[in-house]
């Protein structure tokens, strides 16, 4: 994070690619657009950008008081889904005789383009605005220079015909691109896919994210890309099973199918006495959050599926791939990292997750409201991650 001495040095500097100053404490769009543009790093500085709140264009301070509310407002851009993929940023307060400043330090994204409310915001010198078609293509091609996440790597051997363009155009595009940009969109389909990280223009093939979300047969390229559901009659895997189903196919469709399945087959609301409130054996929202977590964070290079097992007294969800990146058993679930950031972005756009890095916390809160026991997380396995959700006892 930038130091106080460094802040003093950049305050007098003119606004440029990496610096934006404002005295407003309430202009949410200005904040979001600035953070998004620093993520996109259009000039390719490969250095952080700085949004400074409390300073005029000439660098003088206007006596701003930076309070806890403003700090929280700025921090929310990391997780609330207005910016996708979620930005790598830190926020700090500095106090001078003339007033406070809040400084947001934003790192360039490894998987551009980044969008704020569906728009690709950029800065080139003092110019700021929305990227045009050529600029979006430049940002898309920048991904090839980084060590990319697995979901943005090219799915060699596939081609654009392996992707359901109808699902992409009719179901996904309206959720990911703002209406004005979508209305003006005259690009050919490969460039539309590439701008959202679903196609690799250099290699002329879909990415694994494109195959997973819209592929006509994802398992042809990723054999473990399915969810195995089994309902056992007893409390272990050797007991008879009552029902078995394999959820497979494009994730855009399957996430909705899973959502309906959980509400109709898993939640199981019961009313113990006439007139009393209905109770749930498992709250649907908790199971959804934990299952979506498994889908987003799993290791798709594994041939094993996600296991979604329902026993007489509990549900167990296990996915290939242990905790990833900065996430460790000692800091889980407060610290999160994304093995598949493009899948996380897509799940947010499609409305299956409400914010980033809060799914596990939301699931725990839902279970508590339902009167269910705390979930048990299996964190010490290097090749898998698991959670046990116990049935609510009447």
CB-based contacts of 243, cutoff 8 Å, min separation 6: 229, 230, 231
pLDDT at site 276: 62
C-alpha closest to that of 140 among 181, 104, 187: 187
| DSSP 8-state assignment for residue 184 | T
199 lies in the same domain as 238: no
The answer to whether position 142 is within a domain reads no
The answer to whether position 129 is within a domain reads no
- Can you give the CATH number for the domain in which 96 is found? 3.30.950.30
pLDDT at site 186: 77
Q: Using CA atoms, how far apart are residues 380 and 323, in angstroms rounded to an integer?
A: 9
The answer to whether position 138 is within a domain reads no
The answer to whether position 341 is within a domain reads yes
The answer to whether position 134 is within a domain reads no
210 lies in the same domain as 234: no
154 lies in the same domain as 50: no
Q: Using CA atoms, how far apart are residues 225 and 369, in angstroms rounded to an integer?
A: 33
pTM over 0.85: no
CA-based torsion, 65, 66, 68, 74: positive or negative: positive
110 lies in the same domain as 245: no
214 lies in the same domain as 230: no
- Can you give the CATH number for the domain in which 241 is found? 3.30.565.60
111 lies in the same domain as 258: no
The answer to whether position 180 is within a domain reads yes
Task: Indicate the number of domains in the chain.
Answer: 3
202 lies in the same domain as 230: no
- Domain interval for residue 190: 148-218
pLDDT at site 277: 66
pLDDT tens sequence for the chain (394 residues): 899 999 999 998 887 889 999 999 999 999 999 999 999 999 999 999 999 999 999 999 989 999 999 999 999 999 898 999 889 999 999 999 999 999 999 999 988 899 999 999 999 887 889 998 889 888 888 775 455 789 999 999 999 999 999 999 999 999 999 888 888 777 899 999 999 999 999 899 999 999 999 999 999 999 999 999 999 999 999 999 899 999 999 999 999 999 999 999 997 766 556 556 667 899 999 999 999 999 999 999 999 999 999 999 999 999 999 988 888 889 898 888 889 999 999 999 999 998 888 899 999 999 999 999 999 999 988 799 999 999 998 6
pLDDT at site 361: 93
The answer to whether position 79 is within a domain reads yes
The answer to whether position 263 is within a domain reads yes
pLDDT at site 166: 97
pLDDT at site 367: 94
Q: Using CA atoms, how far apart are residues 259 and 256, in angstroms rounded to an integer?
A: 5
Q: Using CA atoms, how far apart are residues 333 and 335, in angstroms rounded to an integer?
A: 6
DSSP 10-57: HTTSPPBTTEEEE--SS-HHHHHHHHHHHHH-TT---S-EEEEESB-T
107 lies in the same domain as 172: no
33 lies in the same domain as 49: yes
pLDDT at site 159: 95
pLDDT at site 327: 85
């Amino acid at each position: 994070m930038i130091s106080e001495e460094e802040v003093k040095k950049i305050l007098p500097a003119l606004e440029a690619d990496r610096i934006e100053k404002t005295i407003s404490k309430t202009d949410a769009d200005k904040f979001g657009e600035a953070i998004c543009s620093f993520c996109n790093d259009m000039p390719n500085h490969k250095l952080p950008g700085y949004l400074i709140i409390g300073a005029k264009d000439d660098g003088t301070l206007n006596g701003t008081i930076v309070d806890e509310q403003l700090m929280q407002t700025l921090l929310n851009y990391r997780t609330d889904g207005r910016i996708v993929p979620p930005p790598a940023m830190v926020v700090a307060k500095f106090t001078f005789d003339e007033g406070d400043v809040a400084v947001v330090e934003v790192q360039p994204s490894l998987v551009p383009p980044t969008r704020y409310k569906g728009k690709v915001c950029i800065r080139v010198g003092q110019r700021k605005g929305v990227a045009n078609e050529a600029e979006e293509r430049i940002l898309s091609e920048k991904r090839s220079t980084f060590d990319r996440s697995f979901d943005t790597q090219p799915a060699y051997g596939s081609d654009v015909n392996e992707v359901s363009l109808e699902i992409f155009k009719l179901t996904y595009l309206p959720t990911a691109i703002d209406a004005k940009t979508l209305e003006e969109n005259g690009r050919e389909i490969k460039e539309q896919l590439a701008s959202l990280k679903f196609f690799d223009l250099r290699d002329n093939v879909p990415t694994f994210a494109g195959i997973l979300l819209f592929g006509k047969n994802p398992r042809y390229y990723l054999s473990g890309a399915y969810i195995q559901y089994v309902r056992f009659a007893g409390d272990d895997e050797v007991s008879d099973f009552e029902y078995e189903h394999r959820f497979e196919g494009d994730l855009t469709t399957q996430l909705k199918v899973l959502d309906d399945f959980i509400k109709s087959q898993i939640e199981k609301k019961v009313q113990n006495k006439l007139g009393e409130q209905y109770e749930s054996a498992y709250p649907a929202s908790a199971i959804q959050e934990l299952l979506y977590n498994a889908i987003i964070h799993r290791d798709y290079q594994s041939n094993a599926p996600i296991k979604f097992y329902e026993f007489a007294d509990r549900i167990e969800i296990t996915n290939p791939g242990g905790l990833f990146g900065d996430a460790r058993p000692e800091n889980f679930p407060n610290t999160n990292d994304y093995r598949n950031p493009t899948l996380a972005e897509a799940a947010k756009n499609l409305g299956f997750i409400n914010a980033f890095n809060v799914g596990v916390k939301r699931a725990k809160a839902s279970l508590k409201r339902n009167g269910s026991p705390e979930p048990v997380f299996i964190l010490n396995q290097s090749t898998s991650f698991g959670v046990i959700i116990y049935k609510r006892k009447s």
